[in-house]
A and B are shown apart, each in its own frame.
Chain A
Amino acid sequence: MEIPRIIGAGLVVIGAGIGIGRIGGSAMDAIARQPEATGKIQTAMLIAAALIEGIGFAAIFAS
C-alpha cells in the first residue's frame, strides 16, 4: 500500500512542476512581448503558480 501512494504523490509533483514551469515560461514570453504589462503578468503568474503549488503540497501530505 505504501509504494503506490508514494508513486502517486511523485506523479502529482511532476505534474505540478511541469505546470509551474509552463506558467513561468509563458509569463516570460508575455513579458518579452509586452514589457509595460510586467506587473500585471507577474501578479497573475504568482496566483496561478500558488494554486498549483497547493495541489502539489496536498499530494505530498496525503501520501
Chain B
Amino acid sequence: MVFSNKPLQFIIATLVACLPLLGFANNAQDTIASHIETTATHHEAHAEPNDLKSKIAAYKMHHVLDAHDFVLFSDEAEGKHYGFPLPIILWDNGLQIFSSSKFNHGESVAESNGNYYKIGHDEKIYKTDAAGTLLGDEHHPTNVKPLDFSITKSVLIMFIVAALMLWIFSSLAKSFSKNGGISSGVGRLFEPLVLYIRDEIAIPNIGEKHYKKYMSYLLTIFFFVWFLNMFGLTPLGINVTGNIAITGGLAIITALITNFTANKNYWGHIFWMPGVPTPMKIILAPIELLGVIIKPFSLMIRLYANIFAGHVVLMSLIALIFLFKSWIGGSLSFLLSFALSTIEILVALLQAYIFTMLSALYFGSAVEEHHHDGDEHH
C-alpha cells in the first residue's frame, strides 16, 4: 500500500525479496542432490571426511568445543595450523606437565614420563599405549581418562577476562579518589552500568537493607558474562559461555550464595509453607525443594543454550557461502550473518543482564523479611 505510491522503492523491495529465490535457483539441483546424499549417509557422516557438508559440521563442532591448543586459522592445502600451544596439566600417578604442541593438533601421541596420551575427537585426553590405539569406536573411546587440569582455550580466555576486569575496575575505583569523585577514562563507560546494576537490579530485587553484601557478586557476574559473551563474537573463535560446564559453574556459585545466606523465612517457605492448609504444606515441600535445584539449572541452561545456539546459527549462515558458491548466495549470507551478529551483540548484553537479574531475584527471595502475620498471606 505504502510502496505503491513510490515506484522506485517498490521495485527495489521486490528485487531484494527475489534475491533468495535466485540464490537457491542457481544451485537447486546441486543442493537437492547433495541433500539426498547427506540424508542417505547421515548415520555415517564421517565416512567421507572430504565431503563439504561434513567438513562444515566438523568445523562447527571444533568451534563450539573447548580445545587444548589455540588455533587461529588453518591452511587446509598445506595442512598447517596457525596458533599457539597451551600447557597440558594432567594428574595421572603424579603431575604430568607438557606442552600441547606434543599432540601435533591431535595427530600424534604425546609422551610424558613414560605415559602416552592422545586427544580423542571429543577433545578429551585419553591414556594410550605407545602406538596410540584408542579402545572402543572412534567417537566413544573407552580408554582411561587422566584427570585433566589443563589451561585450555576457555580457561585462558577466562584468565584474560579476569585480568582485564581487575585492571578496568581497579583503575575505575582509583580514579574516583584522584579526580575528586568523578570517574575518568574507560571508567566513564562502566560507571553508569555499575550504577544501573545497583539502582535497577540490586535494590529493587534484594532490598535497601541487604543489597550491599551481594553487590560485589552481581557486578562480577554481570561483567564477567558480558565480557565473555563479547569475546565470543570476535573472530578469534572463542566459545566460553557457550560451554555448559562454565555456565554450570557460575550457576552453582549463585545457588551456593543463595542457600548459604538464606534466612529462616526462606527455609520456612520451602519446608513448611505458611498460610496454606497442612496437607498442602506436605505436598508443597518436595516441589519447593525441587525448585532449589531447578533455579540454578535453568540459569545454566539459559545462558549456555542462548550463546551456543547463537554461535551455531551464525556459523551455519557463514557456511552458506561455501554451500551456494555463487555471488548471490554469498552476499545474502553476508547480509544475514551481519544482521545476526548485530543481534548477537544485543543478546550478549541481554543474557548477562538476565543472569544478573535472576541471581538478584534469588538472593532477594533468600533474605526476604517476614512481612506477613497471621493468616494474611502475600
Which residues does chain B contribute within 8 Å of A58, judged by CB atoms?
Answer: 298, 301
A to B contact number (C-beta, < 8 Å): 32
Say whether A37 faces chain B, with CB atoms less than 8 Å apart.
no
User: Are B353 and A46 closer than 8 Å at their CB atoms?
Assistant: yes
Q: Mark B297-323, 1 if CB is under 8 A from A, else 0.
A: 010011001100100000000000000
Of B204, B302, B309, B357, most A-chain CB atoms within 10 Å: B302
Which residues does chain B contribute within 8 Å of A46, judged by CB atoms?
Answer: 350, 353-354, 357
Interface residues of B in 339-367 (CB under 8 A from A): 350, 353-354, 357-358, 361
Query: Known: A43-B200, A46-B357. Contact between A61 and B301, CB under 8 A?
Result: yes
User: Are B353 and A51 closer than 8 Å at their CB atoms?
Assistant: no
CA distance A61 to B306 in the complex (A): 12
Say whether A4 faces chain B, with CB atoms less than 8 Å apart.
no
Say whether A50 faces chain B, with CB atoms less than 8 Å apart.
yes
Say whether A54 faces chain B, with CB atoms less than 8 Å apart.
yes
Instruction: Give the residue of B200, B204, B298, B309 whose beta carbon is less than 8 angstroms from that of A54.
Output: B298
CA distance A33 to B357 in the complex (A): 25
User: Are A57 and B200 closer than 8 Å at their CB atoms?
Assistant: no
User: Are A43 and B305 closer than 8 Å at their CB atoms?
Assistant: no
Q: Mark A36-63, 1 if CB is under 8 A from B, else 0.
A: 0001000100110011011001101100
User: Are A57 and B305 closer than 8 Å at their CB atoms?
Assistant: yes
B203 to A: closest C-beta gap in Å: 12
Which residues does chain B contribute within 8 Å of A39, judged by CB atoms?
Answer: 200
Which residues does chain B contribute within 8 Å of A47, judged by CB atoms?
Answer: 354, 357-358, 361
Query: Known: A39-B200, A51-B298. Contact between A57 and B306, CB under 8 A?
Result: yes
Which residues does chain A contribute within 8 Å of B305, judged by CB atoms?
Answer: 57, 60-61
Interface residues of A in 5-61 (CB under 8 A from B): 39, 43, 46-47, 50-51, 53-54, 57-58, 60-61
Interface residues of B in 182-209 (CB under 8 A from A): 200, 204
Which residues does chain A contribute within 8 Å of B357, judged by CB atoms?
Answer: 43, 46-47, 50
A58 to B: closest C-beta gap in Å: 6
User: Are B361 and A50 closer than 8 Å at their CB atoms?
Assistant: no
CA distance A32 to B274 in the complex (A): 38
User: Are A50 and B200 closer than 8 Å at their CB atoms?
Assistant: no
A9 to B: closest C-beta gap in Å: 13
User: Are B354 and A50 closer than 8 Å at their CB atoms?
Assistant: yes
Which residues does chain A contribute within 8 Å of B309, judged by CB atoms?
Answer: 57
Who on chain B is nearest to A40 by CB?
A: B204
Which residues does chain B contribute within 8 Å of A51, judged by CB atoms?
Answer: 298
A8 to B: closest C-beta gap in Å: 17
Which residues does chain A contribute within 8 Å of B306, judged by CB atoms?
Answer: 53, 57
Q: Would you mind naming 6 contact pairs between A and B with Cβ atoms under 8 Å apart?
A: A43-B357, A46-B357, A50-B302, A50-B357, A57-B309, A58-B301
Binding site for A on B (CB under 8 A): 200, 204, 298, 301-302, 305-306, 309, 350, 353-354, 357-358, 361
Binding site for B on A (CB under 8 A): 39, 43, 46-47, 50-51, 53-54, 57-58, 60-61
Given contacts A47-B357, A53-B302, A54-B301, 15 further A-B contacts (CB under 8 A): A43-B200, A43-B204, A46-B350, A46-B353, A46-B354, A47-B358, A47-B361, A50-B354, A51-B298, A53-B306, A54-B298, A57-B301, A57-B306, A58-B301, A61-B305
